[in-house]
Structure 1
Amino acid sequence: MSGPVQDEKLREQQLRALRRRWLRDQELSPREPVLPPRQLGPVAAFWERFLQPGDLWRQQVHKFYQAGRFVMLRVLIPAWAITYFLKYHVQKLPHGVVATNPRIFPGDRILETGEIMPPLRDELHKHH
């Protein structure tokens, strides 16, 4: 009966060795992880180079830029879009349209005064 016990011990020893090797392989060397270089867009690359020395005025310029970008993208453009939509798609009359009184012809009654427009005088000009 010593055969199967020896086989089990050998199998456990091999598994322990494999686990130890696997754990050793999981440790990273100082050179890892090797990542590809970051690809920055033109604006991000500019700010990356601009902020390298870390001067205070450069930091203030960057904060001003970020605040202006936030206001433009999050406040002004949405406000303009909402105003445009309300002005041209929701309102019954577009902004700036002035309603005029209808034309009055002879014989019509003027609603405000109740007066009836007299007929036009015949003009006796000698033209066709």
Structure 2
Amino acid sequence: MTGYTPDEKLRLDQLRALRRQWLKDQELSPREPVLPPEKAFSGFWHRFLQKDSVWRRFTRPYGIVETKPKIFPGDTILETGEVIPPMKEHDTHNHH
């Protein structure tokens, strides 16, 4: 028994036609765009994420936290001119 049955031959022809159509569909025509169309908000996000964008000038990253400078005995407060007095001596015999 050699060759294909009529059903097998029909199926092979159909598969061959589908493969050819698929390959043809993969080729780009000169007018067909290669890249997808630009999304509506892409321009906004591009400007928003720039280093010198407006919102970055008025906001700070969460990692940057300002702390007040430490005050030690003998330091002078600039606004009032007040000098911080020395600390009181504490008993050293507390925890027996």
Which of structures 1 and 2 has the larger relative contact order (alpha carbons within 8 angstroms, sep 6+)? 2
* Higher Cα Rg, which structure: 1
Normalised by the shorter chain, which TM-score bucket? Answer: 0.3 to 0.5
Provide TM-score, normalisation by structure 2.
0.44
More helix by share: 1
